[in-house]
Amino acid sequence: MSSRGGYGGRGRGGGGGRRSDQSSGPVAWPALQSSAARGGRGRGGAGRGIAPPVASSSSSPPSDVVVSVAIGGAADVASSSSSVRENPKVSGSDSGASLGQELAEKVQITPETAVAPSSLKAVKFPVRPGFGSAGKKVTIRANHFLVQVADRDLYHYDVSISPEVISKKVNRDVMTTLVRTYGESHMGKKIPAYDGRKSLYTAGPLPFESKEFVVDLNDKKPAASSKRDRKFKVAIKLASRPDLFQLQQFLRRQQREAPYETIQVLDVVLRDLPSQKYVAVGRSFFDPRLGRRGELGDGVEYWSGYFQSLRLTQMGLSLNIDVSARSFYEPILVTEFIGKYLYLRDFNRPLRDSDRVKVKKALKNLKVELGQFNFARSSKISGISNCPISELRFTLEDNTQKTVLQYFFEKYNYRVKYPYLPAIQSGSDSKPAYFPMELCRIAEGQRYTKKLNERQVTAMLKATCQRPEQRENSIKGMVKNNKYNEIDLVSKEFGMSVTDQLASVEARVLPPPMLKYHESGREKMVNPRQGQWNMIDKKMINGSRVASWTCVNFSTRIDRNLPQEFCRQLIDMCVSKGMQFNPQPAIPFISCQPQRIEETLRDIHARAPALQMLIVILPDVTGSYGKIKRICETELGIVSQCCQPNQARKLNKQYMENVALKINVKTGGRNTVLNDAISRRIPLISDRPTIIFGADVTHPQPGEDSSPSIAAVVASMDWPEITKYRGLVSAQTHREEIIEDLYKLVQDPQRGQVHSGMIREHLIAFRRATGEKPQRIIFYRDGVSEGQFSQVLLHEMTAIRKACASLQEGYLPRVTFVVVQKRHHTRLFPAQHGNRETTDRSGNIQPGTVVDTKICHPTEFDFYLNSHAGIQGTSRPAHYHVLVDENGFTADALQMLTNNLCYTFARCTRSVSIVPPAYYAHLAAFRARYYMESEMSDGGSSKSRNTTASTSAVVSRLPAIKDNVKDVMFYC
C-alpha cells in the first residue's frame, strides 16, 4: 500500500495554511520548502516529484503595466495571438519578462497611456479561432427557427404615460385603446409594436415627430368596479431610427458590433401579441390554453407555456423556442388556500401566531376578487388582522365602534362562517378595509415566486418531464399554434416570417478520455462508454490514509448496532478501493439525541482534536445538516461525511462505493486522473504550470431581501493532474453578480496596505503545493447571463491581474476566461429518434456532442457541449462562451479539454453536465449558504441529493472555514 502514496495530496498541515493577507510586499510568493515543494504530500504517502520547473526570469516589467494590459487590452491580446495558436507549445525559456513585453507591444500600452475602457462597449470578446474538427460527425436538430426579415424603415418612439402606471397590462390597455381610437385619424394607419413600458416601434414613420393623446379606459369596465380616474395622457416622441442594414452587415461578418437596438425592435414585434394574450414572465408566456395545468400542492399549481428569444446566430436571425412551465397560485377561496397551505381542516379555533405569520407572508400583495353582494371588486392584500375577525372592530364616522361581523350582517345580511380566522386587510394601515377570508377568491394568473418545496418540485418534474421526442413534438406544436406568419403585425407590417422547422445542425461527438486508476488494481485504465463506467476491479489512483476517525449517530430509529456494521462495511469498501483506513476509531462510536448535536460535536473534537474524518448518521427528521456542517467546518475544523439513516440502514454496496469516493477526496486523495494528464499530453496545460479556476455566485431565494449573495472560487492544486480543487467562499452584496472578493487592497493601521482576496490566496496555495508559479490561468465562470458579460469581464479580469501583480512585479500569467451557462433554452435532439447508434439509453444525443456552428454566435468563440448521458427528460447542453483567450486555444483544444474534465468529477463514475471546476464552485457556494441560514436544512449522501433551506435567521457575516478544511474538497 505504501507505493500508492505517490499521488498523494497535501497533508492537514500542508499548503494554504497561512492566509493570503499576511503578506503585503510586492513579492509575496511563499518561500519553498525543500521537501514538500514538489507534488502533493498524501496523508500517508510520499510525495511524487513532477517535471522540472519552467525557467523564469527575475527581470520583469513594472506591475502597473501588468494591470493596465489586463484592463485595457485583454481582448485585443487574445485576438492578436495567432502565432500562439499556430504553435500552442510555448517554449520553456519564454520568461515572464518577455511575455509582458510581448503583450505590451501587441496592444501598444505603456504605463503612462494605459487606461481602462471608458465604457462597457469598449470591452471586446475574442473572435472564433476556427471551427472544431475532432470527433465523429453527426447531424442533430436544435430548437432554433430561422427568421426572415424584409427591408423596412424602422422607427423607435419614446412613450410617456401619465399618471405613471407600474402594470404593463394597464400600459398595454392604454396603447391598444389609443391605436383603436386614433390609428386612422392620427397615426397613418400604422400598426405599432409596444414593449409595455417606454418604447413604441413602427415600420415607417408616423405622421408626426411628437404628439400628445388623451386615452379614456373607463369604457372598458363597469364604473362600480373602480373609483380611480382612468384617463391617461400619452406623449409619443421620435427617439431613433434602428437600421436593418447594420443587422445585415453583422450577419455577413462585415461589422463587429452587434446591432442590439435592431434586434430589440424585432423581438418586441414577435412578442407583442403573446404579451396581450398570455401571462408574460421574463421571456416566457404562460396560459392554461397552452398546455397542461395541474396541482403542485399547498395551494400552488403549474401552467404550461413557452420561452421565446430572438438570437443572432451563424445561420442568421434565429427564434429560440422551448416549452416551459411555471408555478402559479391556485384561483381558490383564501380559506381553501389556507387549508392546503397549513394542512388545516378545522377553522373553529384561532390560528397559532406562527401560522398567522406564515399565512400573512404567503398572501401579502396577492390580488383577490370579491364577487358577492351584486358588485364586482378586486383588491390587493396588504396584510391580515392580528386577531380573529370576531374580535376586530373599526370606528364609524360618528365615532361609534362596530365589529366587522356586525357590519357584514347589518349591511349584507351575511353571517361570517369562520369567525376564528383573521380578516383579509386591503388598503393602507391608516385606512384599512377588512373582508372575511371565505368571501375572497385568489385572482387567476398570479405567479408563485417563492421557492418550491421538495414535494412541489417532485410534482413539477413529474408533470413536465418529457423525453426528447415528446419535447421536440411539443415545441413544434407550440410554433404551429403561435401562427407567427398569420399575425398582421409580424408578417404584413414588419415583413417578418418564421419557419416552422427546427434547425438541422452539423455536430461532432468527441471521444471520451482514457482514465487512469492505480497500478495495483486489476483494471489500470478505463475507457468510459456512453458517459459512464464503474469501479469494479479498479483502485483509486491516490487512496488517502485515514488514521484518525470516528462515527456519531443522531438517528433514533435505526438499530443500535447498525452504526458499527455500517462503518465496518464502509471502511472495507474504502480499503478495497485503495485507501489506507485505520480499522479502529479514534474514540468509541457515539449515539445521541438530535437535540444535543452541538454539544456532542464539541465533545468529539475535545476528545479527538486531530480527527481526519467524522462519519455522521443524520437525524431521522430533516433540519440538521446545515448546522452540522457549519459547526464542523467553521468552528471545529472537522471534515465530515453525512449519511442519511434510511440509506445507512440498507447496507447497499453501490451506496458505500459512492460514499467512499467522497471520503477519499475529502481526506486529500484522488479517485482518478486523465491519462493524458499523467503522460503530459494535454495541449496548453501540460507544458507549463497551469491553474484551473471555477467560480460561481449563488443568490438568496425569492423573498429574502436582506441575505447576502455568496461567491465561491475553487482552484486546482495538483498540476499537472488538475483533479484536486481547493475551495474558498465569501459573502457579498445582496444579488451582486460580480465577485467582489477576487482581489482586495485594504489599509491596515499597523501593517499599512494589505493585499488579500480569493485569487491571491489560491495562487499562493498552488505555489506551496506544487513548487511552481502558474504561468497559465484557465478561469471557468458560472452563472453569468449574456447581458452581464462585459461588466463581469471588466471587473473580474482586472481583479485577476491585480492579484497576480500583488504577488510579484511583472507577474503576468496568460488568462483564458470562459463563461459556463446552464440557464439557457437551447435543446439538441437526435436527427432520428430511437436510433441506438446516435442516442444514449435515455433517447438523448450522445455524451460528448459538441456544436460550434449554425446556432452559435456569428463571430465570437462559443460552443454548446452535451458532456453527460441523459437520465430522464431531455438533456440540457452547457453553453461555453470565451470572453478572453490569451493562451490561444484552438476550438478543438478547448472543447476537448472541457469535455475531458467533465469525466474527472470526484463524486461519481459518470461524466457531468458542466465542467467540474464550475460544478465544485457551485457546491462550495451552496455549502456556504448553510453556514448563514437557519437549521431548517438537510442533506447528506443519499441516492438523490436534494436539499432545502429555510429563509429565517440571516447572519450578516460568513463564518470563516478552517484552514485544514478548505485545503481539501470538503464541499463534495
Q: How confident is the model at residue 239 (pLDDT cuts 50, 70, 90)?
A: very high
Task: Report the range of poorest mean pLDDT among 53-62, 265-274, 398-407, 609-618.
Answer: 53-62
* DSSP per position, 283-346: TEEE-GGGS-EEEEETTEEEEEEEEEEEEEETTEEEEEEEEEEEEEE-S-BHHHHHHHHHT---
Cα–Cα distance, 579 to 544 (Å, whole number): 5
pLDDT score, position 963: 94
Q: What are phi and psi of 384, to 5 degrees?
A: -130, 155
Q: What mean pLDDT do residues 7-17 have?
A: 37
Per residue in 840-889, pLDDT (tens digit) is 999 999 999 999 999 999 999 999 999 999 998 999 999 999 999 999 99
Per residue in 711-756, pLDDT (tens digit) is 999 999 999 999 999 999 999 998 899 999 999 998 888 888 999 9
Q: Kindly report the pTM of this predicted structure.
A: 0.86
> In degrees, to the nearest 5, what angle opens at C-alpha 811 toward C-alphas 809 and 812?
135
Extended strands (E) in 672-787: 673-674, 690-698, 709-716, 725-732, 744-748, 752-756, 776-782
Task: Report the range of poorest mean pLDDT among 83-92, 179-188, 260-269, 536-545.
Answer: 83-92
Per residue in 820-846, pLDDT (tens digit) is 999 999 999 999 998 988 899 999 999
Q: How confident is the model at residue 940 (pLDDT cuts 50, 70, 90)?
A: low
Q: What mean pLDDT do residues 439-449 have?
A: 95
Cα–Cα distance, 22 to 605 (Å, whole number): 28
Cα–Cα distance, 450 to 364 (Å, whole number): 12
Per residue in 144-185, pLDDT (tens digit) is 999 999 999 999 999 999 999 889 999 999 999 999 999 999
pLDDT score, position 7: 35
Q: Is the pLDDT of residue 42 over 50?
A: no
Cβ pair 150, 495 in contact under 8 A: yes
- On average, the pLDDT of the chain sits at 86
pLDDT score, position 219: 57
Question: How distant, in Å, are the alpha carbons of 211, 657, 745 from that of 667?
Answer: 72, 16, 33
Q: Is the pLDDT of residue 373 over 90?
A: no
Q: What mean pLDDT do residues 55-72 have?
A: 34
pLDDT score, position 120: 52
Cα–Cα distance, 529 to 67 (Å, whole number): 45
Q: What mean pLDDT do residues 128-134 have?
A: 97
Question: How distant, in Å, are the alpha carbons of 101, 344, 689, 770, 886 from that of 778?
Answer: 21, 54, 11, 17, 10
Q: Express as a percent the part of the chain with pLDDT over 90.
A: 75
pLDDT score, position 374: 66
Query: Which amino acid, 182?
Result: Y
Q: Is residue 25 exposed (0-12), middle (13-18) or buried (19+ Cβ within 10 Å)?
A: exposed
pLDDT score, position 952: 38
pLDDT score, position 428: 87
> Cell 485585443, residue?
76
Q: How confident is the model at residue 932 (pLDDT cuts 50, 70, 90)?
A: confident
pLDDT score, position 814: 97
3-state secondary structure of 655: helix
Pairing of strands 545-546, 580-581: parallel
Q: Is the pLDDT of residue 75 over 50?
A: no
pLDDT score, position 401: 87
pLDDT score, position 112: 29
Query: Which amino acid, 334?
Result: V
Q: How confident is the model at residue 36 (pLDDT cuts 50, 70, 90)?
A: very low
